[in-house]
Chains A and B, each alone.
Chain A
């Protein structure tokens, strides 16, 4: 079976400006969303308490709300269904420092009259920890980006590194925009999803860049746009196939992996689509716009090769004892 049989390069670069514009609009609107609507921080970052309760019948959500409303400590508590009719989660902004008698103990007592229930999960994060997790999360993100930038610069060239990181920021921005748009609760697992996306998106981009690097060496064309079209076309089959298989796996996770990792898998699904798109339509044009010169690169590569050959010659001379 084969999906892509064309061997003639597709003219991606001719359309680059159009895609660039679309992406720019998407990225800007994502940032507008992030700064106006803002993230729906979950308790990991905002602090607070989350209590997941399961009933042996459909949860009497109105009764629960009524009971909680009578308590001052639970002002603004949200009660929502979670996954099924029988299950609910209660989210409050407050958290208690007391080890021996915390919010979950109180909620258990308060809700006792509403029926047979089981408290299945309690997450409580104090304000201090929330700030700490935010700092750590940001650090992880920056460290990952810096690491990727360094590695790609080392293996390719700075323009490649910059293009891949810009594509990365593009993907991340749109994923964040989607998170805000759909009101996904941002907890640690979302951070993990974003970092996984970093890995995926860079993975896709690198495969194409590797092909471009190879084409520069083997192809006769010296026009970067031509080379990019050729390389992107040749890797098109791989890019879509891999994205498709990964998409299928994450889709399975989203549909059947349970309510707790829904936000995580949703973020990945969005990221996979955006990441695949950007690898094909965004990362490579940036390389072109950064005025990447094929001839210069060839010259540098040739010099590198020459130096290596020179070294080898010296070594062989040395080994033969002529030096």
Chain B
């Protein structure tokens, strides 16, 4: 009775699996799971961004000051010297009867702060937990914001993810030109920090002679106009900021210039209305990312919470700014820690070059195997092809990314898979030379070769895993292909070829060993 040849069955299954799941990738069809090409092969932008979270702390402090100012004005508590210091927000109450009321307000409205008193001077500071939370928040908010900006921009499948504690990974495939890339980067980097600031009308006339230090003494800042060299003296603590914005869109002014219309939420609308009502005849500056876009004179109370930013925009600028405003401001600005960008033509060249090397290496090795080992070489080659299909199939199924080093990894795996068959064939030849029967030589050959192939492959796998754990980007892809390749080669080169020999062993005669194994004896 012939024993059931399970090895051949497994091998055929592996072959079928390999063919079915590698076809979508090989044919580049629309159906099925395909290997994703890495950015280095298809072209695209890879960036690791750092977050300047200290800026988030600063602006949080500023917003505490804004809230305090609004609340105290609202409750008619009189105060003086409201200022932002390195320790927090300080102010001096003028009426000691207000202290209790003031303390109650701070406790109720300003969570995460501590209040220190020194006479009538109070300091509101953020707690360490609040500082940590604000930093964390700045990072995750930046991730969200950048993601939504890229989505609104209409880019295909961008990746935006937090990396480590305070870094952001941004990957955008398929960018066509460097100019496009720069536009996208500008969009990402835009802090989109919108502020309405009151012009300090008392001192505005002296703006050209006043120094920044002097301005700071009055609680003012000097900001420049976005297009001209004009300067404005503005109250440092803004009336309101972009966090109260609900929508922004591109519109057109009467002179048909692109402008950005924005809508404030209820709270913002109320603050805006109150302020404009009190400040008729004065100017209010619309400030975006610390540049003054306009500073119109308030003619009447502005209700409804609607506003407009004008500033000689091009259509494209207005479009990008509106997206940035709509997706919210970045609590903290981001900066580039690492950037890798590959143009689509270079990616295509890399694919072509490495595919050429892969095919050439493959063919040379296959020819060599047949010349050296005869039919044994053909069997090894069959295993090699199935191995390659399996790698592609497994990568497609796992949704793995194929990178340029990954291509090199496949080339190397070809070498490894051949190695297993070289070891086995050498062993079989050895046993044949010792005079064993064909069947016995094959069985013993596999038995003896197995432990060396296994140990050797596992040690290589150990190195590949180390690479995977500590590697980044393309290198990870390389480690992954090698690992998959090693595992696949154990299946095809050991199990698969063994099954084939098993099926053929009764046909192999001692007389034509040269034909079968490439050597006599």
Contacts and interface: CB of A to CB of B under 8 A. Distances in A.
B340 interface: yes
B401 to A, nearest CB: 15
B190 to A, nearest CB: 7
Interface stretch (A27-35, A59-67, A146-154, A175-183): A146-154
B16 interface: no
A265 interface: yes
A202 B456 contact: yes
Contacts, number: 251
B210 interface: no
Given A189-B475, A195-B466, A253-B408, A122 B354 contact: no
Given A199-B460, A203-B456, A257-B354, A122 B340 contact: yes
Interface in A188-211: 188-189, 191-192, 195-196, 198-200, 202-204, 206-207, 210-211
B466 A147 contact: yes
B103 interface: no
A214 B447 CA distance: 12
B368 interface: yes
Interface string B377-415: 000000000000000000000000000110010011011
Contacts of A207: 423, 452, 456
A203 B422 contact: no
A310 interface: no
A206 B456 contact: yes
Interface string B287-311: 0000000000000000000000000
A155 interface: yes
Contact of B342 (A121, A124, A199): A121
Contacts of A125: 337-339
B455 to A, nearest CB: 5
Given A97-B336, A144-B466, A245 B418 contact: yes
A257 B353 contact: yes
Contacts of B217: none
Which 8 pairs from chain A and chain B are nearest by CB?
A: A258-B353, A99-B189, A246-B415, A199-B460, A140-B470, A249-B361, A97-B335, A144-B466
A124 B474 CA distance: 15
Nearest to B427: A238
B426 to A, nearest CB: 5
B157 interface: no
A256 B338 contact: no
Given A97-B50, A98-B335, A129-B338, 9 more contacts: A1-B371, A120-B342, A129-B337, A143-B470, A151-B462, A188-B475, A255-B357, A256-B357, A261-B408
B246 interface: no
B455 A155 contact: yes
Contacts of A101: 182, 186
A151 B458 CA distance: 8
A94 B299 CA distance: 51
B519 A1 contact: yes
A151 B411 CA distance: 26
A37 B518 CA distance: 49
B452 A211 contact: yes
Interface in B293-351: 334-343, 345-346, 349-350
Specify the main secondary structure of chain A where it touches its partner: helix
Interface string A281-319: 000000000000000000000000000000000000000
Interface in B460-481: 460-467, 469-472, 474-475, 478-479
A7 B50 CA distance: 64
B178 A104 contact: yes
A246 B408 CA distance: 12
A99 B415 CA distance: 43
A237 interface: yes
Given A258-B354, A261-B408, A265-B408, A133 B472 contact: yes
A253 B361 contact: yes
Contacts of B461: 199
Interface of B: 47-50, 178, 182, 185-186, 188-190, 334-343, 345-346, 349-350, 353-354, 356-358, 360-362, 364-365, 368-369, 371-373, 404-405, 408, 411-412, 414-416, 418-419, 422-423, 426, 429-430, 433, 448, 451-452, 455-467, 469-472, 474-475, 478-479, 482, 518-519
Given A137-B470, A210-B451, A249-B414, A238 B423 contact: yes
Contacts of B418: 242, 245-246
Given A144-B467, A249-B361, A253-B411, A188 B459 contact: no
Contacts of A99: 47, 49, 185-186, 188-189, 334-336
A250 interface: yes
B471 to A, nearest CB: 7
B411 A105 contact: no
Contacts of A124: 336, 338-340
Nearest to A255: B357
B405 A264 contact: yes
B466 A245 contact: no
Contacts of B475: 188-189, 191-192
Contacts of A256: 353, 356-357, 360
A73 interface: no
B178 A248 contact: no
Given A139-B470, A241-B422, A261-B404, A148 B178 contact: no
Contact of A202 (B349, B350, B452, B459): B459
A215 B346 CA distance: 53
Interface in A110-129: 118-126, 128-129
A104 to B, nearest CB: 7
A170 interface: no
30 contacts: A1-B372, A1-B519, A95-B336, A122-B339, A124-B340, A125-B337, A128-B50, A129-B338, A141-B466, A188-B472, A192-B475, A199-B459, A200-B460, A202-B459, A206-B459, A234-B430, A244-B368, A245-B365, A245-B418, A245-B419, A246-B415, A249-B365, A249-B414, A251-B361, A252-B358, A252-B360, A252-B361, A252-B411, A257-B408, A257-B411
A55 to B, nearest CB: 13
Given A126-B336, A126-B338, A129-B48, A140 B471 contact: yes
Given A249-B365, A252-B364, A258-B354, A144 B337 contact: no
A210 B371 contact: no
B189 A195 contact: no
A188 B467 CA distance: 11
